[in-house]
């Protein structure tokens, strides 16, 4: 047997070490796999739709393996939902929708978004479903609502068919408002997997083949870096403004500010705040399905409160104003399929209506009543006051009123000295008085 000498063995070890070092060097030069991660926590609206669109573009520019969307939503606008679904279906990068964390749910519009993803996942303790439209007044569906439901059902069937998911359940979620847990969703082929966290999710989807519009792609996400992308400052502000309750409150605050300025010209500050609130409210309403009949009823109700201050109606105008604002608030936003999120909270409506009624009846009313009071200073303040005659008034003499001596003229005949008198008028620093009956 021929044994290798020590120099040959050393050469072999050096060669292996060089190869290993070269492998590490080239591995370091290769770009690390990246996953772009975002969170949608709240209603689906134009802001969230724009954020998802921007995130897809960002993931493409960064050559990310996929876009991971953490979803927790009660629903939202159908128009925005269609924009999101369209962006996901034609996305050049794989999109994973992950209903998380525990306790989250994908309701209404969230069902459409989840089913449209290349990979749909849920965390333990989450649920999905209930996409049936709910009218704002709780009344049965009208013909228009039925048409909207049929349209939404066809839309969700198309999505489920595209992603090879349970079409029957998807339609039931729209028509019958069914909702299921994450385990039931996996069993019914509504989602692809259940993952405990992001790491578990990326480990499970590693090496999966994804069909994109431009072709297929094999995911490499096992050890990928997660890059979290956040909404910008203005996007966060606009997202808050897209809440119908915020829009309603801003609308009422805007009316309050303008009314303060109208009844107290020159204050400036209430007018500025009022205009700003109204502009923000109208912007917010521009992103929501506003029923302008409801808006008109709210404005009419405020006008009735104003008339109550000017006209004595024994409360009829106030009652009309309350009813008008309540009815206007109830129908301020239209609802349709996948838009049951767009509704006003009853606590907000009742609180704003009550504050509005109190505001006009007591605050502005008290100010106007104060303006109508008789002056309490100056010469006119003496009218109606009582005093004593300091000399005989026949008809001219001297009287004492409020501790002051005045020239006076009787308008009720001769008044003896020491009689009680009452001031009826004043002119040129001379009082016109009359004797108080039974003053002796």
**58-73, pLDDT tens digit by residue?**
999 999 999 999 999 9
d(CA 210, CA 225): 19
Same domain, 38 and 179: yes
Query: Residue 330 has what pLDDT?
Result: 84
Same domain, 77 and 215: yes
DSSP secondary structure string for all residues of 200-232: HHHHHHTT-EEEETTEEEE---TTPEEEE----
Domain that holds residue 397: 379-435
End of a domain among 351, 372, 393?
A: 372
End of a domain among 201, 234, 267?
A: 234
Same domain, 215 and 71: yes
What mean pLDDT do residues 278-297 have?
A: 83
The rounded mean pLDDT for the chain is 82
Token readout for 392 is 């005989």
d(CA 198, CA 392): 103
- For residue 24, being part of any structural domain is answered with no
pLDDT at 29 over 60: no
Query: Residue 220 has what pLDDT?
Result: 92
- For residue 141, being part of any structural domain is answered with yes
Query: Residue 12 has what pLDDT?
Result: 60
- Total number of domains constituting the chain: 3
Q: Assign 41 a pLDDT band (cuts: 50, 70, 90).
A: very high
What are the residue numbers of the active site?
108, 147
pLDDT at 11 over 70: no
Same domain, 120 and 215: yes
d(CA 275, CA 259): 11
Query: What pairing do the DSSP bridges indicate for beta strands 420-427 and 386-389?
Result: antiparallel
Query: Residue 376 has what pLDDT?
Result: 55
Q: How many CB atoms lie within 10 A of CB 32?
A: 9
Same domain, 248 and 226: no
Cα 309 to its chain centre, rounded Å, is: 32
d(CA 179, CA 83): 24
Lowest mean pLDDT among 39-53, 124-138, 218-232, 239-253: 124-138
Query: Residue 308 has what pLDDT?
Result: 73
- For residue 265, being part of any structural domain is answered with yes
pLDDT at 135 over 80: no
Same domain, 289 and 399: no
Q: Name the more confident of 41 and 244.
A: 41
Same domain, 142 and 41: yes
Question: Looking up tokens 């493409």, which residue turns up?
Answer: 60
Same domain, 143 and 192: yes
In 242-395, the DSSP E strands lie at 386-389
d(CA 42, CA 54): 18
- The top-scoring range by mean pLDDT among 131-140, 224-233, 374-383 is 224-233
pLDDT > 90: what percent of the chain? 36
What mean pLDDT do residues 108-132 have?
A: 91
- For residue 360, being part of any structural domain is answered with yes
- For residue 210, being part of any structural domain is answered with yes
Q: Name the more confident of 46 and 342.
A: 46
Same domain, 324 and 410: no
CATH code, 405: 2.40.50.140
pLDDT at 285 over 90: no
Same domain, 226 and 253: no
- For residue 192, being part of any structural domain is answered with yes
Question: Looking up tokens 């005949």, which residue turns up?
Answer: 413
- For residue 15, being part of any structural domain is answered with no
CATH code, 201: 3.90.226.10
Same domain, 321 and 346: yes
Question: Looking up tokens 């009359």, which residue turns up?
Answer: 434
Lowest mean pLDDT among 35-49, 88-102, 210-224, 308-322: 308-322
Query: Residue 181 has what pLDDT?
Result: 95
- For residue 345, being part of any structural domain is answered with yes
End of a domain among 372, 395, 418?
A: 372
Same domain, 387 and 281: no
pLDDT in tens, 365-424: 665 666 555 555 556 677 888 899 999 888 889 999 888 888 899 888 888 888 899 988
């Amino acid at each position: 047997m021929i044994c290798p000498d020590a120099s040959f063995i050393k050469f072999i070890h050096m060669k292996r070490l060089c190869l290993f070092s070269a492998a590490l060097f080239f591995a370091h030069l290769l770009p690390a796999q990246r996953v772009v991660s975002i969170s949608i926590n709240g209603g689906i609206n134009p802001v969230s739709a724009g954020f998802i669109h921007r995130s897809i573009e960002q993931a493409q520019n960064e050559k990310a393996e996929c876009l991971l969307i953490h979803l927790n939503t009660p629903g939202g606008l159908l128009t925005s939902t269609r924009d999101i679904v369209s962006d996901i279906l034609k996305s050049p990068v794989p999109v994973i929708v992950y209903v998380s964390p525990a306790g989250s749910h994908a309701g209404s519009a969230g069902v459409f978004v989840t089913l449209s993803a290349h990979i749909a996942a849920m965390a333990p303790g989450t649920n999905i479903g209930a996409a049936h439209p709910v009218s704002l007044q709780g009344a049965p569906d009208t013909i228009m609502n039925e048409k909207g439901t049929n349209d939404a059902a066809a839309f969700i069937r198309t999505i489920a068919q595209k992603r090879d998911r349970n079409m029957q359940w998807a339609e039931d979620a729209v028509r019958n408002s069914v909702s299921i847990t994450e385990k039931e969703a996996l069993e019914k082929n509504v989602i692809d997997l259940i993952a405990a966290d992001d790491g578990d999710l990326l480990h499970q989807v590693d090496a999966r083949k994804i069909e994109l519009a431009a072709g297929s792609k094999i995911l490499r996400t096992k050890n990928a870096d997660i890059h979290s992308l956040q909404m910008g400052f203005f996007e966060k502000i606009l997202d808050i403004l897209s809440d119908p309750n915020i829009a309603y409150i801003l609308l009422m605050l805007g009316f309050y500010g303008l009314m303060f300025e109208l009844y107290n010209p020159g204050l400036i500050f209430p007018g500025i705040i009022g205009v700003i609130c109204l502009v923000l409210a109208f912007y917010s309403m521009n992103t929501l399905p506003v029923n302008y009949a409801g808006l008109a009823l709210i404005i009419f109700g405020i006008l009735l409160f104003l008339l109550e201050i000017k006209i004595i109606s024994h409360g009829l105008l106030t009652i009309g104003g309350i009813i008008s604002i309540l009815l206007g608030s109830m129908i301020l936003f239209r609802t349709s399929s996948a838009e049951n999120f767009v509704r006003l909270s009853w606590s907000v409506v009742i609180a704003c209506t009550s504050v509005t009624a109190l505001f006009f009846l007591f605050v502005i009313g008290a100010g106007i009543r104060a303006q109508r009071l008789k002056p309490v200073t100056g010469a006119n303040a003496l009218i109606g006051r009582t005093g004593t005659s300091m000399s005989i008034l026949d008809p001219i003499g001297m009287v004492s009123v409020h501790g002051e001596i005045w020239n006076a003229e009787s308008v009720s005949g001769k008044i003896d000295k020491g009689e009680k008198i009452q001031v009826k008028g004043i002119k040129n620093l001379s009082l016109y008085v009359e004797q108080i009956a039974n003053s002796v």
